[in-house]
Amino acid sequence: MSLESPAKKDIYGQYHLKKVINASGRMTILGVSTPRPEVVETVSQGLNEYFEIKDLIDKTGQYIARLLNVENALVVSCASAGIAQAVAGLIVKDDRDLLFNLHSSTKNVPREIIVAKGHNVNFGAPIGTMVALGGGVVVEAGYANECYADHIASLINVNTAAILYVKSHHCVQKSMLSVAQAAAVAQKYQIPLIVDAAAEEDLVTYYQQGADIVIYSGAKAIEGPTSGLAIGRHQAIEWLKRQSEGIGRPMKVGKEGILGLTRAIELYINDPKHETGQQMVSKMQPFIEKLNALNGISAKVVWDSAGRDIARAEIAFDAKVIGKTAIEMVDLMKQGDIAVYFRQYKANEGKVDADVRSVTSAQLDTIYHKIKNIIQGVE
């Protein structure tokens, strides 16, 4: 009895999965992004071949480093794993005993990781947990609404292992020092700087500004398979790489992920097909106009708070008119045969954002009709 190939089956039907329209952006909870066919083909080729993995890691890292004109590069399993391994690498360095006994060792080595208080966020998991996994101890600099170079400099001491800068929309944006300013402090005191740039689109800026290790998600802007990218100074990346024998072992990335991300980076640089912010505006303008025609709904274009070239539709719900709060609308939009996910960070303010990067015009129409049906009480 032959079984039909799972690849040819309707996976939604086979596993009883709900279909999703992803208007929240490149989010881990929804599978992040959909790689280009060339990347999928490379992943398939990688799955069906054997390699000396250390050689594969080294050679692809060298290739990526040449593409980006950086000293060194390494594919990791994801950005959060990259943070943990970067912290561990800068604490352990070449100490083999510490490599094997990172969390049990009583050796007196620098373990403090300075993080701006406004950067000590939960991105789906706490930044502090990633630091702790790497054997580090978070030391918060400044205040929730303010952190300058002097705040970080004042905390540097013999126990400081690194400075961690989190470049993310999750972080406080106002009254925070820039990456370049953090790099200047790091260089003055000869302390390594790690930049978590998971969702950022520019793969070289923070390295050029002086960061020792910069970490990206491979599946977000780059649109690779589930993976991460660490680039930086040669020695710092080599120390990170050594963690494959330590905490990095349960975080290992497969051959298909290494090759898939390498191909995705190559395409990202040499054959960019990125949708610009203005193109996003054009795509969602009819959607916004239709929403504004609904009683109790108002919509407008807003731009990414972290400074990326990303335009979104901000949708405000007047609870007094439609009888439902934005928080209730977020929940109702996830129900039914097709779940619609918005960026819901501002739901407590009565509004949500629709990120259209992974949404087609037809799906925008589906979103509009679902909103209309909910507020008009149509089943």
pLDDT of residue 378: 66
Q: How many other CB atoms are found less than 10 A from the CB of residue 305?
A: 15
Q: Is the pLDDT of residue 235 over 50?
A: yes
Q: Find the mean pLDDT for residues 343-359.
A: 89
Both tokens assigned to 59: 């050679």
Q: Is the pLDDT of residue 8 over 60?
A: no
Q: Find the mean pLDDT for residues 185-200.
A: 96
Percent of the chain with pLDDT over 90: 72
* Alpha-helical regions (H) of the chain: 11-14, 37-47, 53-68, 79-92, 96-100, 127-133, 149-153, 179-189, 205-208, 234-241, 255-270, 277-292, 319-322, 326-333, 361-375
Q: How far apart are CA 333 and CA 23, in angstroms?
A: 11
Q: Is there a contact between 334 and 367 (Cβ–Cβ < 8 Å)? A: no
- 20-52 pLDDT, tens digit per residue, is 898 988 777 777 778 888 999 999 999 999 999
Percent of the chain with pLDDT over 70: 97
What is the full DSSP assignment across 327-377?
HHHHHHHT-SSEEEEEB-TTGGGTEEEEE-TT--HHHHHHHHHHHHHHHTT
- 298-309 pLDDT, tens digit per residue, is 999 998 877 778
The class of domain 6-32+274-375 in CATH terms is alpha beta
For 205-237, letters b (16+ CB in 10 Å) and e give bbbebbbbbbbbbbbbbbbbbbbbbbbbbebbb
- 260-284 pLDDT, tens digit per residue, is 999 999 999 987 667 788 889 999 9
Both tokens assigned to 153: 């400099």
Residue 113 burial (CB < 10 Å; 0-12/13-18/19+)? buried
Mean confidence (pLDDT) of the chain = 91
Q: For 264, list phi and psi in degrees, rounded to 5.
A: -65, -40
Q: How far apart are CA 157 and CA 165, in angstroms?
A: 18
Report the half-sphere exposure of 144 (CA within 13 A, side-chain side): 1
Alpha-carbon torsion (362, 366, 372, 375), positive or negative: negative
pLDDT of residue 246: 95
pLDDT of residue 379: 62
Both tokens assigned to 159: 């126990």
- 58-101 pLDDT, tens digit per residue, is 999 999 999 999 999 999 999 999 999 999 999 999 999 999 99
Do 37-270 and 6-32+274-375 have the same topology in CATH? no
Domain residues of the chain, as ranges? 6-32+274-375, 37-270
Q: Is the pLDDT of residue 3 over 60?
A: no
Residue 105 burial (CB < 10 Å; 0-12/13-18/19+)? middle
Quote the DSSP letter at residue 174. Answer: T
As its CATH architecture, domain 37-270 has 3-Layer(aba) Sandwich (3.40)
